[in-house]
Amino acid sequence: MKAEADLGVIGRVVDVKAHGLGLFSSGLLALLILMVGVPLVMVVLMSLRTGFPGEGGALTLANFVAVYSSPGTYKVLLNTVLFALGTVLVTLVFAVPLVWLLNRTDLPLKGTIYVLMTVGILVPVFLRTIAWILLLSPRIGLVNQWARQLFGMDHPLISLYNIPGMAFIQGVSFVPSAFFMLAAAYRTMDPSLEEAAYTSGVSKFQTFLRINIPITWPAIAGVMVYLFMSAIAVFEVPAIIGFPARILVLSALIFTSTNPPTGLPDYGLAGAYGAVMLIAGLALAYFYVRLVQHGKKYTVITGRGYRPRQISLGRWKWPALAFVLLYLSMEVFIPFLVLVWASLLPYLQLPTAEAFSQISFNNYETIFDFVDAQPFINTAILMLAVPTGTMFLSVLVSWIVVRTQVRFRGSLDTIAFLPHAIPSILLAVGLGYLGLAYRNFFPVYGTIAIIAIAHTITWIAYGTRTTNGVMIQVHRELEEAGKVAGASTLRVLGRIVLPLVASGIFNSWIWISMLSYREVTMALTLGTRKNLVISTIVWQFWGNGWVPQVAALGVLLVLFAVLVVGILKIGFSRFGGEFGSGN
C-alpha cells in the first residue's frame, strides 16, 4: 500500500516534469516564431501599404504595380543576378583549389595559412572594399595615379566600378566561409573511395569525374547555393562601389528606399523590392537544405580507421604557395597595407620620398575630434549583448532539439535555421518598420537595442548550428550516467553538459561577438544619430570623403579584432581547451 502511494507520487512528479518541459519548449518555440516571423510579416505588410509607417489605410498592391511596371526594376534584377553569379564564380575559383591544397597535399605553412584565413574573416567587407577603391579607383586609386605618372596614360589603367569589379571584391571576401564549409564536407569523404577506383583500374581523370565529383557534388552545390543566396543579399560592396558607378542591385534599392539621401523614406517600395528577395532567399534555402541532406546520405556510409594520404606536390609546391599567397594578398595583406598607408598621410598619395616625409600618427590622434565616445560604448554593448543572447537561446534550442523527445523539436530547429535564408537587410527593414509603425508596443526604434535584436535574430541560425554540433558530440550516455548517479536534470545540465560544451560555446560566442562588431548593413539600416556604432561611423566618414580618418579608424578596427580574438583564443586554449569540442 505504501509502495503504491510512493509510486503514485513519483508518477506525478515525472508527469509534472514532462509537462514543464513541454511548456518550456512551447514557450521557446513561440518566442522564436515571434522573433523571426514578425519582421517578415512586417516586410509583407509594408509592401501592401503606402505612406509613412504607422499610417494605416487600406491594403493595396500599388507598390508592386509601381515597382514591377518599371523597366528599371528588371535592369536591377539582372544586375543582381549577374553580380551574384560573378561572386560565386570568383569564390569557387579560389576556394576549391585552396580546400584541395590544404586538405590533401603536403603544402608547407598550413598552420599559418589557416590563421591568416581566419584573420581574413575579421577584416570587415566594407573596409576591404574601401581599401580596394583606394588602390583601383579610376581617379584617386594608387595604381591608376601611378599609371598616369609612369606612362602618361590619360584614361585609368583599371577600374573597379563595374559588375566584374564588384563581384571580384565580394567573391574574395566569401572565400574563407566557403573554404571552411567545403573543407568540412571534403574531410568526411573516405579517401579509400578514390583508391578503390584506382585499384579497379580506373584512371585518375575518370576517378575524379565519376567518383570525386559525384560524391562531393551535393556539398559543392550546397555551398554554391549558399553563396548565391548570400550574394543576392549583401549590401556593402553594392553600396560602396555600386552607388557611385550607378550599378544598382536589389539590396541597394531597398536601402535607398528606406534611407533616401533626400525626401521621406518609402517603406512600401522597399517591401515590394524585398518580396522578390525574400522569395528567392527562401527558395534557395530550401534547395540548400535538400542538398545538404543528400550529401549527408553519402557520408553515412564511410568506414572508420582510414588515414588520408597526402599527395606530394613535388616541384609544384612553389606555384601552389604562390597561388595561396596571391589569394591571401587580396584577402588580407593588400587591403590592410593600403589602409595603413592611407592612415599615415594627410591625403592619399603614391609612396614617394615626399609622401614618406609626411608620415605621422596625426590621423589617429585626431579621431576623437570627429567622433564622441557613444559609438564605442554602443559597439561594446553589441559585442557583449548579442553573443550572450544568441548563445543563450541557441543552447536552449539545441538542448531541446538534440536531447529531448519533444514532439515539435524539428520545427524548432527549422525556425532557428530560417534567419539563414532571410537577407539581413530585409530583417532590419522589417524591424525598423515595426519600431516605427508600432512604437507604442515596441519602443526601441533609434536605440542600440533594436540593432542588438536584429543581430541576435540573424546569428541564431549560426549559433544553433554550432551548438547542435557540439551537443551531438557529447554522448547521451554521459548525461544518463549523471542521472543514474542521482543528479537532477538541472544539475546534470550544469555540471556535466555545460563544462563539456563550454569550449565550443565560447568559440562561437567570440565569433558572434566579432561578427556583430564588424556588421554594418543592419546597423546602418536601423541607424539614427543616437545609436551609431563604430562601423557606421566609418561608413559616415567615407560618405563625407574623410579618407585618412576612415583608414585610421579602419586600421584600429582590424587590429582590435585580431587582438581580442588572439588573446581570447590563446587564453582559452591554456585553460579549458583540453576538451577541444569547439568547431
Partner 1 sequence: MITIRGLRKWFDSRRGRVEALRGIDLEVAEKEFCVLLGPSGCGKTTTLRCVAGLEKPDAGELEIAGVLASSPARRIHIPTEKRDIGMVFQSYAIWPHMNVFNNVAFPLIKGRKKIPKDQISHKVRNALKLVQLDGLEDRPATDLSGGQQQRVAMARAMVTEPKLLLMDEPLSNLDARLREQMRVELRKITKAVGVTTLYVTHDQAEALSLGDKVCVMHDGEILQMAPPHEVYARPANLFVAQFVGEMNFVKGKVAGSAQVECPLGTLPVQVPSSLSAGSSVTLAIRPEHIKLSAKDGSGASLVGAVSSKNYLGDAALLEVVVNGVTLMAKLVGDVELTVGDEAAVELPVHRWHVFP
Report whether 501 contacts 467 (CB < 8 A).
yes
CB of 215 to partner 1, least distance (A): 6
Q: For residues 266-325, which are near partner 1 according to CB under 8 A?
A: 297-306, 309
206 in contact with partner 1 (CB under 8 A): yes
CB-based contacts of 344: which residues, under 8 Å, 6+ apart?
Answer: 359, 360, 361, 363
Question: How many chain residues bind partner 1 (CB under 8 A)?
Answer: 30
Q: Which is nearer to partner 1, 310 or 358 (CB)?
A: 310
CB of 196 to partner 1, least distance (A): 4
CB of 497 to partner 1, least distance (A): 31
Q: Which residue has the cell 581523370?
A: 205
CB of 204 to partner 1, least distance (A): 7
113 in contact with partner 1 (CB under 8 A): no
CB of 426 to partner 1, least distance (A): 37
- Determine which residue in the list 52, 198, 208, 356 makes contact with partner 1, applying CB under 8 A: 198
Q: Is 257 helix (H, G, I), strand (E, B) or coil?
A: helix
Q: Which is nearer to partner 1, 302 or 528 (CB)?
A: 302
- Determine which residue in the list 4, 5, 199, 545 makes contact with partner 1, applying CB under 8 A: 199
Q: For residues 164-193, which are near partner 1 according to CB under 8 A?
A: 190, 192-193
- Determine which residue in the list 28, 67, 182, 197 makes contact with partner 1, applying CB under 8 A: 197
| Nearest-angstrom CA–CA distance, 356 and 539 | 27
Q: Which is nearer to partner 1, 148 or 290 (CB)?
A: 290
* Interacting span for partner 1 (CB under 8 A) from 121-129, 200-208, 365-373, 519-527: 200-208
CB of 109 to partner 1, least distance (A): 13
Report whether 272 contacts 254 (CB < 8 A).
no
Q: Which residues pair with 311 in a beta bridge?
A: 105
CA Rg value for the chain: 26
Closest listed residue to residue 212, CA positions, set 100, 72, 51, 70: 100
| Nearest-angstrom CA–CA distance, 162 and 105 | 37
CB of 228 to partner 1, least distance (A): 24
Phi then psi for residue 105, to 5 deg, are: -120, 170
Q: Which is nearer to partner 1, 306 or 361 (CB)?
A: 306
Q: Which is nearer to partner 1, 8 or 214 (CB)?
A: 214
Q: Which is nearer to partner 1, 26 or 203 (CB)?
A: 203
Q: For residues 426-445, which are near partner 1 according to CB under 8 A?
A: none
Cell of 175: 572565400
CB of 2 to partner 1, least distance (A): 44
User: Computed from CA positions of residues 4, 10, 16, 19, in that sequence, does the dihedral angle turn out positive or negative?
Assistant: negative
Q: Which is nearer to partner 1, 294 or 403 (CB)?
A: 294
* Interacting span for partner 1 (CB under 8 A) from 25-33, 112-120, 204-212, 563-571: 204-212
| Nearest-angstrom CA–CA distance, 19 and 3 | 24
- Determine which residue in the list 60, 70, 162, 203 makes contact with partner 1, applying CB under 8 A: 203
Q: Count Cβ atoms within 10 A of the Cβ of residue 423 and give its class: 0-12 exposed, 13-18 middle, 19 or more buried.
A: buried
- DSSP, residue by residue, 422-456: S-HHHHHHHHHHHHHHTTTT-TTTTSHHHHHHHHH
CB of 349 to partner 1, least distance (A): 47
Q: Which is nearer to partner 1, 299 or 362 (CB)?
A: 299
Q: Which is nearer to partner 1, 207 or 535 (CB)?
A: 207
* Interacting span for partner 1 (CB under 8 A) from 14-22, 123-131, 197-205, 385-393: 197-205
Closest listed residue to residue 273, CA positions, set 60, 47, 53, 437: 47
Taking each helix axis from N to C end, the angle separating 424-437 and 448-473, rounded to the nearest 10 degrees, works out to 130
CB of 106 to partner 1, least distance (A): 9
- Determine which residue in the list 202, 493, 510, 568 makes contact with partner 1, applying CB under 8 A: 202
User: Computed from CA positions of residues 416, 420, 421, 426, in that sequence, does the dihedral angle turn out positive or negative?
Assistant: positive
| Nearest-angstrom CA–CA distance, 57 and 437 | 13
CB of 281 to partner 1, least distance (A): 29
Phi then psi for residue 308, to 5 deg, are: -65, 140
528 in contact with partner 1 (CB under 8 A): no
Q: Rounded to the nearest 10 degrees, how much is the dihedral formed by the CA atoms of 506, 511, 514, 520? A: -140
Q: For residues 208-237, which are near partner 1 according to CB under 8 A?
A: 210-211, 214-215
Q: Which is nearer to partner 1, 189 or 278 (CB)?
A: 189
- DSSP, residue by residue, 277-314: HHHHHHHHHHHHHHHHHHHHHHHTT--SS--PPPBP-G
CB of 572 to partner 1, least distance (A): 24
Q: Which is nearer to partner 1, 199 or 357 (CB)?
A: 199
User: How many Å is the maximal CA-CA distance in the chain?
Assistant: 104
Instruction: List residues binding partner 1 (CB under 8 A).
Output: 190, 192-193, 195-204, 206-207, 210-211, 214-215, 297-306, 309
